[in-house]
């Protein structure tokens, strides 16, 4: 389509000139955006169902609402859906797995007995697609997690089971990282907490610290495995107390040289992770982000182009943190096409990063240093109506993926050809 191609090129040229006036090199911004991998969470594709067929409810305070048809029921369907989504997202990315996505060939394998071989199909697929993989132990959707306690459980037998699960998952993560020549970030999130006011806030936290020490006892090559711990303020069923709170895991991560995972939906609604990044990066080598969108009590809406998303991207770029921050997505919506949910969230993350690379950050910092806050504010506002959409479309086109007005058609076609036949 010569008209389409000409429009993309000429819109880009106009944008390039406009950014040049601000001292911003759009080509460089495109290159830098292309270097960033975003880890796509597999669980958006099947409402965190996984393939254990244990019949356990998800639990852990995680609730996926919606009945949109066409969800993936098998590993092959899920991989096909991921391939579809990835074909519509510019750049080279990663996929984030949960332990309950193991493939055990119809055999019941307990969580504490999972092995790397149960993820061999995922590894082979990732290798053939040129993807990195990340991993998560699954401390929910299980009989032994039905009372909402796992690593902090007062029953030592149950605690031991989950410790063994954590250990098994780190072995799997290390095997994945070794096989794919890219460190597998293995992230621990547990649901543990209480619905109502606890009488003892201290002991569960001590139990959690001890359990984590056991889980993390075995050393692995950091080129194969990076451990992360994820904090949360509250969840469904843990409204009054969460054992693994922010302060708990921040301290644990600093002392034990772990990555801290900051999930954008895991704080009080007036708290933002964009303000936390530069604070925790003073004390931690690396962190993991779960980019999500909180809406009232839900922490897992599809990522949209919010102020906070743009602020997160700006912080990563302004602070030059991108080599120390791993970006993952974490949301689940079963009320819309699940492939589209991935595409919207991931494209927004990439688009926000591109917009951040298009910011004349030095100039803004200089104005701030000079105390000219009027000009700082005026320039920040001016930037909001700059033509970054034209740069984005050009980036998508150059990357061989549909531009903004085109990708949905491709998902609708996939829905008709594939999803609607499930
Ligand atoms: C839950 C955490 C956690 C999960 C995934 C499925 O509140 O955000 O990251 O969403 O592990
Ligand atoms: Zn999360």
> Is 239 annotated in the active site?
no
CA–CA gap between residue 393 and residue 40 (Å, rounded): 21
Name the CA dihedral angle for 161, 162, 165, 166, rounded to a multiple of 10 degrees: -140
Domain assignment present for 110: yes
Residue labelled with tokens 């910092």: 365
Domain assignment present for 390: no
Domain assignment present for 150: yes
* pLDDT the model gives residue 235: 94
Between the CA of 330 and the centroid of ligand 2 the distance, in Å, is: 5
**Residue span of the structural domain in which 308 resides:** 21-358
Domain assignment present for 420: no
**Closest ligand to residue 188's CA:** 1
What 3 state SS string does the chain have? CHHHHHHHHHHHHHHHHHHHHCCCCHHHHHHHHHCCCEEEEHHHHCCCCCCCCCCCCCCCCCCCCCCCCCCCCCHHHHHHHHHHHHCCCCCCCEEEEEHHHCCCCCCCCCHHHCCHHHHHHHHHHHHHHCCEEEEECCCCCCHHHCCCCCCCCCCHHHHHHHHHHHHHHHHHHHHHHHHHCCCEEEEECCCCEECCCCCCCHHHHHHHHHHHHHHCCCCCCCCCEEEEEECCCCECCECCEECCCHHHHHHHHHHHCCEEEEECCCCCCCCCHHHHHHHHCCCCCCEEEEECEEECCEEEECCCCCHHHHHHHHHHHHCCCCCCEEEEECCCCCCCCHHHHHHHHHHHHHHHHHHHHCCCHHHHHHHHHCCCHHHHHHHHHHHHCCCHHHHHHHHHHHCCCCCCCCHHHHHHHHHHHCHHHC
Domain assignment present for 395: no
> Is 81 annotated in the active site?
no
From the list 224, 266, 301, 388, the catalytic residue is 266
Q: Are 33 and 357 in contact (CB under 8 A)?
A: yes
Between the CA of 69 and the centroid of ligand 1 the distance, in Å, is: 23
Of the residues 189, 239, 292, which should be mutated to test ligand 1's pocket, given the most ligand atoms within 8 Å of the CB? Answer: 189
Between the CA of 330 and the centroid of ligand 1 the distance, in Å, is: 7
* pLDDT the model gives residue 56: 72
Instruction: Kindly list the protein residues that place their beta carbon closer than 5 angstroms to ligand 2, a single-atom ion.
Output: 263, 290, 330
What CATH number is given to the structural domain containing 125?
3.20.20.150
Q: Are 302 and 336 in contact (CB under 8 A)?
A: yes
Domain assignment present for 102: yes
> Is 397 annotated in the active site?
no
CA–CA gap between residue 160 and residue 243 (Å, rounded): 17
Counted domains in the chain = 1
> Is 266 annotated in the active site?
yes
Residues with C-beta less than 6 Å from any ligand 1 atom: 43, 48, 62, 136, 189, 230, 232, 235, 263, 290, 299, 330
Per the structure block, which two tokens stand in for 246?
A: 């922010």
* pLDDT the model gives residue 259: 98
Domain assignment present for 16: no
> Is 415 annotated in the active site?
no
Angle, nearest 10°, between helix axes 338-357 and 307-318?
50
Digits of tens for pLDDT over the chain (422 positions)?
789 999 999 999 999 999 999 999 999 999 999 999 999 999 999 999 999 976 678 888 898 999 999 999 999 999 999 999 999 999 999 999 999 999 999 999 999 999 999 999 999 999 999 999 999 999 999 999 999 999 999 999 999 999 999 999 999 999 999 999 999 999 999 999 999 999 999 999 999 999 999 999 999 999 999 999 999 999 999 999 999 999 999 999 999 999 999 999 999 999 999 999 999 999 999 999 999 999 999 999 999 999 999 999 999 999 999 999 999 999 999 999 999 999 999 999 999 999 999 999 999 999 999 999 999 999 999 999 999 999 999 999 999 999 999 999 999 999 999 999 99
Domain assignment present for 339: yes
Per the structure block, which two tokens stand in for 67?
A: 């009945």
State the sign of the Cα–Cα–Cα–Cα dihedral 8, 14, 18, 24: positive
Between the CA of 291 and the centroid of ligand 2 the distance, in Å, is: 8
The structure's pTM equals 0.98
């Amino acid at each position: 389509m010569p008209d389409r191609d000409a429009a993309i090129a000429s819109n880009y040229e106009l944008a390039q000139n406009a950014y040049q006036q601000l001292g911003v090199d759009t080509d460089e911004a495109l290159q830098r955006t292309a270097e960033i991998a975003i880890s796509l969470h597999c669980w958006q594709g099947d409402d965190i169902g996984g393939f254990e067929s244990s019949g356990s409810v998800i639990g852990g305070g995680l609730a996926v609402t919606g009945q949109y048809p066409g969800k993936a029921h098998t590993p092959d369907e899920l991989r096909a859906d991921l391939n579809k989504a990835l074909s519509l997202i510019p750049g080279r990315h990663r996929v984030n797995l949960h332990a309950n996505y193991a493939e055990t060939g119809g055999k019941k394998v307990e969580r504490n007995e999972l092995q790397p071989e149960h993820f061999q199909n995922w590894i082979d697929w990732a290798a053939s697609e040129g993807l990195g993989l990340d991993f998560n132990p699954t401390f929910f959707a299980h009989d032994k997690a039905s009372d909402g306690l796992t690593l902090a459980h007062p029953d030592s037998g149950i605690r031991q089971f989950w410790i063994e699960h954590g250990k098994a998952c780190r072995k799997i993560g290390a095997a994945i990282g070794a096989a794919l020549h890219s460190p597998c970030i293995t992230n621990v999130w547990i649901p543990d907490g209480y619905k109502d006011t606890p009488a003892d806030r201290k002991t569960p936290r001590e139990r959690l610290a001890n359990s984590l020490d056991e889980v993390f006892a075995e050393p692995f090559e950091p080129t194969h495995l990076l451990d992360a711990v994820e904090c949360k303020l509250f969840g469904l069923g843990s409204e009054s107390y969460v054992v693994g709170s922010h302060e708990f895991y921040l301290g644990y991560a600093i002392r034990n040289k772990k990555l801290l995972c900051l999930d954008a939906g895991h704080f009080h609604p007036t708290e933002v992770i964009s303000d936390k990044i530069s604070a925790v990066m003073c004390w931690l080598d690396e962190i993991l982000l779960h980019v999500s969108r909180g809406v009232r009590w839900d922490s897992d809406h599809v990522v949209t182009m919010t102020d906070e998303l743009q602020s997160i991207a700006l912080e990563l770029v302004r602070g030059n943190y991108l080599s120390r921050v791993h970006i993952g997505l974490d949301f689940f919506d079963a009320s819309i096409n699940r492939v589209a949910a991935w595409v919207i969230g991931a494209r927004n993350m990439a688009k926000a990063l591109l917009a951040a690379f298009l910011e004349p950050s030095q100039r803004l910092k200089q104005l701030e240093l000079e105390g000219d806050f009027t000009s700082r504010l005026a320039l920040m506002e001016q930037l909001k109506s700059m033509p970054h959409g034209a740069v984005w479309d050009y980036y998508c086109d150059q990357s061989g993926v549909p531009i903004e007005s085109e990708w949905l058609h491709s998902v609708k076609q996939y829905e008709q050809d594939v999803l609607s036949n499930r």
